[in-house]
Structures are given as C-alpha cells and as structure tokens.
C-alpha cells in the first residue's frame, strides 16, 4: 500500500484509538476487583472533602497507595480498596507521609488544626497553611481523611510483608527429653539441642551492646543512639507474632541502627537468636539450669596474681556489665534485674559457694548459664579479663579467696592530680544527686551514710561511713586538690580492694557530679541541715489532694499497718529513730543533724506525699523510685500509729 498522507492519518488515528481503548476504556469496562473492607461509599461531605483534597493539590505530596516494598505505611493496597473512587487519583510524590490508612489514627480536630497551622504539630513541616479554608471546608477534608483506611484505630498497623508473612521457626528441639529425675542431666545438653545456646552466642556477640544483657534496650552502646533499642520485656514484643520477629531481625528496623541480619546470619541462626530472646526476655519462665560441672577445658586455676591492679580491672568489668543484674553488692538485686528468670544469684550466701573453685567461676563467666540470661562473656572479653573478674567476685563477694593486703593509709586514693583539683560545675543538682544516692548507694552506705545499708552488711571491707568524711577532710586526706575533686575521684574509680564500684563505668559525668553535690551537702559541709527541715503546714500539691486510702483499698489492695513496720525500720528508723522522735542512730556525728520529731495529727495525704516526694534541700529522700504505692500506704498507716493516731479512725 502506498503511504499517502491519507493512509498515514487514518492509520495513526486507528492506532491512537486502539491505545486509548486498551489503556482507558478496556480497564473501565473490565476492571471489577472484589470490594475490600477498606472501600466504602462516601457521604456527601466526604465526597466534598475529597474534591477539596485534590483540588488544593494535596495529592502532589501525599499518596494513597501502599506497595509491596513499602515497609512502613500499612498493609499493601488492593484494587478493591478503590472501587468507589472515580476518578482514581493515587497521588504523585511522597514528599509527605502516605495517607492510605490515616483514618482514625488521629482525631478530626487534629487534622483540622494541622491544616490551618501545620507547624503546630510538626515543627519541621514544609506543608503550606490552608488557613484560607472555611470551617466547613476544613471539616469536610477531615471527614474525608477520617474515612481512609480500614477504620481501625490499631496500635500496630504494620504487618510483615509478603516474604515474611506467616514465617515460622525452622529449627526446634532435637527431640523429646525425659522428665524422669533419674535421666541424664538436662541442663546443657537440652539447651544446646534446642538451638538456644547458639542463640545466646549470637545475642552476646551481636545484640548485647545495644539491647543489654537484661534485654531492656539499655546496653552500653544503646545510650548513644537517638532511637532507643527495643525493650524485649514489654509489649509489643511480649505478644509480637513470630513472623514479625523474623521480619525485623532479617531486614532491620527503618530509622534505627538495627542491622539487616539476613546479610550475615542464616535463617536458622536468625530463628535461634529470636527464640533465645523470646524465651529469656519476652516471656521467660523459671527453669532449673542444671549446670553440671565445668568441662575438662575449663579445669584451670587462676593464673593471675590477686593484687590491687587485677581487682580494679575486674571491678570495672563488674560495674560496666554485671552490676545491672547482680547488683553492686552482688545480692542479685541489680537495677535491671526485674523480669529476669531464673533470678541472678545472691553471692552473699557464702555457704553456697564454699565448694566453688576458680574453674567454677571462670566456666560460668565464659560460657554463661543454660536457660538463663547470663551471657557468653568469652565472646566479649579476653581470658585475662575473665580471670580478673573471677578474682574480684571471689575476693569481694563470695569471699572464698583471700584478699591482697590493704593499701597503706592514704595510698588508696592515689588518683590523678587533674581530677583531684577539679571543681564542681554550676549545673550540679543536689536533689538529683540525692535521688541517685537513694537508687544506687543507700543499699550499701545506708540512708544516713553510716555504712549500714542492708546489702553492705556482709561486705569486707565494710562500706565507708560517710559521716567520717569531715574528719578525713580536716586530716588532709583530700590534700593537693579540692573537696569536690577528691569526691569525684573516689566515685569515678571506686576505692581499691573494696566493693565500691567504679561508677565512671556506668554513670555519666553529670550524674557523678550530682552525687558529689549530695555527698558534700549531706556529709561534709552540712548544708542539708535536717533540723532546718520545716515539714510545712500540712498542705499538699494539687496532684496529691485526692489521694484517699479508702479508694485505694476498695480498688487496689488492702493497707496493712504492720507491713509498714519493716519498711520503717529499713528506710526511716536510722534517721527518725524507732519512736519517730528523731535522733536516730545513723545521725550521730552527722553534720546534717537529726530530723525533728514527727508532728502529731499529720493527714494521710500529707504523709503519703512526703514519703513519696521527700523534703527538698534536706536528706529526706523521695522514696517514689524504690517503694510501690502499696508500700507507701503501708508506711503511712504505720506512721499514723507511731505519731499517736489510729489508722482508720
């Protein structure tokens, strides 16, 4: 056929209409996907809001379409989501967040306020203000946005993408184990057969520095991160399905430093570490570890001398890694111990450790303990460092090893001149130091600083009596420096051949300076004079006005005055005296003095308030961090009787 102009024109038109038919008309005629629960017929106001949304160009920045590769916007979009949208406008560019599932995630008033002033809720937003809209128009847009998605205000919208959906562990226990008590030991053998030993090793070497050996996201590196690592002890992790665990471990977590472990771990290894985290942290149960005896390769004697240098090195490791679960006095009550099962051992029970030799400690430190959160420290610390830790534990806590000679008087504080000459910054906080002293120091030094804390009673040497600090200052033991610098040096490095932790391994410098402020004010210069404490006229802050023991008992727990007595003896009697008249034994020679006698007729809300919040600028602690609400009420009830009142009268 001769290619004339007429032929070219007609042919071009035929091709054009054919393409239009295939691209435009055929989909309209043939597209009939099944309606999903996301699709709804919209009201007239919602339709108006849709027109305003697109008419004002909101779709230029906001899409309404979730693809398979989008791991942070909601379930993947289906054709049936849009059966009532005509024309279908899915948006062009994701400058702003995708809005496919925005409905019910925020209130309509939030959406209206955000339209009028985007920076009110998103200070860095580049979205223009739509304040020119009428109230009716803004409300219509909010109605439209409120209709988007599956109409579920779900806490967890993001589900595992297709490759991970319904994933299940590929490795399980090697077989059924006998529960017959006469059967072979089931500690290490079953632990290894289950794959959890490999999971423990992977967690120790790759996860521990962020998530911590207590699994609460407070590892030694986690504190440097903007996004705090996951705390496996709480939801959503306690109830998170297996496929989401596998997805997050495999792909990492967007917006965080959580790596995509699929790049270096096999599926079996990923499942083993997931199951270890689930069993030990997310939903632990109490098991008998049934450790057995150290294997032949660990039958060794400590090759290091038990001297001050090795004890100091072991102390630093203990403070940095072990204290969070075992506690600074090794009684098993560390600050992150909650939720750890089996519970950490109490090394103060000396009779339990008489049979233990070097190998017993070195083996457990190196390999961990089966069915527990005790890490495999051989993956993090050298053999020398583990032996140093053995010396420290045996000398300071189980006391199954003779300590080296104590340093000559005045030589145990041989710190650098630079630290000893430092002065406290102006930002130090006496109150912050007091709260920290209560949380970390009172268990050894006691509330009055007299060295009679409950966890320090078994230690040798005993915890320092801080009431003697003024005489040490006057005797020149803080010479060649400032008082603040001398205190900071002791807090930083601990005290040689004692269990005093090296707090620079755990506390930020600002926290250590706050401790200095409290110790100086309470035990050296007496600026926290307790006799100056005015308990007040009985008034309480507004948040305590409606505290009522009757309501507490009807809805929470029974208040038992007798249960308050041991609490009073533990926390209060050393300063206030057994009779509540002050002059407690811990305040003898204390430069801060002794508290005045308790006033009679104090109201229940007032006593409750003072016990929880303390008294500013005095040594009266706020016990909210260490006492439960029930314990505070029990203590309040006991104080009522101690001050001449009748509980419930």
Tens digits of residue pLDDT in 367-385 = 999 999 999 999 999 999 9
The model carries a pTM of: 0.85
Q: Which two tokens stand for residue 502?
A: 């090296």
The answer on pLDDT for 630 being more than 80 is: yes
Q: Is the pLDDT confidence value at 63 over 80?
A: yes
pLDDT at 184 over 90: no
Distance CA 500, CA 78 (A): 63
Burial code (b: 16+ CB inside 10 Å, e: under 16) for 463-497 equals: bbbbbebbebbeeeebeebebbbbbbbbbbbbbbb
Q: Which pLDDT tens digit goes with each residue over 500-557?
A: 999 999 999 999 999 999 999 999 998 887 765 556 678 899 999 999 999 999 999 9
More confident residue, 449 or 25: 449
DSSP 2-68: ---HHHHHHHHHHHHHHHHIIIIIHHHHH--PPPPTT--PPPHHHHHHHHHHHHTTGGGT------T
pLDDT one-digit tens code per residue, 573-619:
999 999 999 999 999 999 999 998 998 889 999 999 999 999 998 99
Reduce the DSSP state of residue 604 to 3 states and report it.
helix
Exposed/middle/buried for residue 20 (C-beta within 10 Å: 0-12, 13-18, 19+): exposed
The H or E element spanning position 606 is: helix 604-613
pLDDT class for 174, splitting at 50, 70, 90?
A: very low
Over residues 447-470, the mean pLDDT reads 93
Look at residue 178 in the predicted model and tell me its pLDDT.
61
Burial of 7 (0-12, 13-18, 19+ CB in 10 A): exposed
Is cis: bond before 488, omega within 30 of 0? Answer: no
The CA–CA distances, whole Å, from 435 to 111, 452, 515 equal 41, 18, 9
């Amino acid at each position: 056929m001769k290619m004339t102009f007429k032929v070219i024109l007609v042919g071009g038109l035929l091709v054009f209409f054919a393409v239009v038919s295939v691209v435009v008309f055929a989909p309209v005629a043939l597209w009939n996907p099944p309606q999903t629960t996301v699709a709804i017929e919209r009201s007239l106001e919602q339709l108006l809001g849709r027109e305003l949304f697109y008419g004002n160009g909101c779709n230029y920045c906001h899409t309404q379409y979730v693809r398979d590769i989008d791991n942070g916007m909601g379930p993947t979009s289906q054709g049936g989501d849009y059966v009532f949208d005509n024309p279908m406008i899915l948006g062009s560019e994701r400058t702003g967040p995708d809005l496919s599932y925005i409905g019910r995630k925020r209130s309509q008033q939030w959406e209206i306020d955000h339209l009028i002033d985007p920076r009110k809720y998103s200070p860095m937003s580049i979205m223009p203000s739509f304040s020119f809209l009428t109230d009716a128009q803004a409300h219509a847009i909010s109605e439209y946005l409120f209709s988007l998605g599956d109409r579920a205000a779900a806490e967890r919208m993001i589900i595992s993408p297709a490759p991970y959906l319904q994933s299940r562990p590929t490795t399980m226990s090697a077989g059924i184990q006998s529960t017959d008590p006469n059967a072979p030991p089931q500690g290490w053998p079953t632990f290894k057969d289950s794959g959890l030993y490999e999971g423990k090793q992977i967690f120790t070497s790759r996860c521990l520095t962020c998530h911590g050996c207590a699994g609460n996201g407070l590892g030694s590196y986690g504190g440097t991160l903007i996004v705090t690592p996951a705390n496996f002890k709480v939801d959503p992790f306690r109830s998170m399905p297996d496929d989401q665990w596998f997805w997050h471990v495999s792909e990492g977590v967007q917006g965080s430093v959580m790596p995509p472990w699929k790049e270096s771990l096999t599926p079996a290894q990923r499942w083993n570490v997931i199951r270890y985290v689930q069993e030990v942290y997310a939903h632990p149960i109490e098991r008998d570890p049934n450790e057995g005896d150290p294997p032949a390769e660990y039958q060794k004697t400590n090759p290091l001398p038990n001297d001050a240098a090795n004890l100091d090195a072991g102390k630093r490791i203990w403070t940095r890694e072990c204290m969070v679960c075992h506690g600074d006095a090794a009684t098993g009550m560390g600050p992150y111990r909650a939720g750890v099962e089996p519970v950490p051992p109490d090394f103060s029970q000396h009779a339990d450790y008489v049979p233990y030799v070097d190998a017993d400690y070195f083996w457990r430190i190196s390999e961990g303990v089966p069915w527990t959160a005790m890490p495999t420290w051989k993956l993090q610390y050298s053999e020398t460092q583990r032996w140093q830790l053995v010396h420290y534990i045996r000398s300071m806590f189980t006391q199954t090893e003779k300590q080296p000679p104590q340093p000559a008087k005045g030589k145990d504080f041989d710190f650098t001149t630079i630290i000893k000459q430092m002065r406290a910054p102006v930002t130090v906080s006496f109150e912050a130091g007091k709260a920290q002293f209560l949380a970390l120091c009172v268990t050894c030094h006691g509330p009055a600083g007299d060295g009679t804390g409950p966890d320090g009673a078994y230690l040798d040497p005993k915890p320092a009596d801080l009431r003697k600090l003024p005489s040490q200052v006057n005797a020149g033991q803080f010479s060649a420096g400032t008082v603040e610098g001398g205190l900071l040096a002791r807090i930083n490095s601990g005290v040689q051949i004692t269990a005093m932790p090296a707090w620079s391994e755990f506390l930020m410098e600002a926290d250590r300076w706050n401790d200095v402020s409290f110790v100086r004010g309470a035990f050296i210069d007496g600026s926290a004079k307790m006799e100056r404490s005015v308990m007040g006229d009985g008034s309480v802050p507004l948040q305590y006005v409606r505290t009522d023991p009757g309501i507490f008992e009807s809805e929470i727990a029974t208040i038992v005055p007798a249960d308050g007595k041991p609490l009073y003896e533990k926390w209060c009697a050393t300063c206030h005296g057994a009779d509540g008249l002050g002059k407690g034994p811990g305040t003898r020679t204390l430069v801060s003095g002794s508290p005045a006698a308790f006033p009679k007729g104090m109201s229940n809300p007032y006593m409750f308030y003072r016990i929880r919040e303390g008294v500013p600028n005095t040594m009266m602690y706020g016990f909210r961090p260490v006492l439960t609400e029930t314990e505070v009420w029990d203590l309040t009830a006991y104080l009522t009787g101690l001050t001449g009142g009748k509980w419930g009268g």
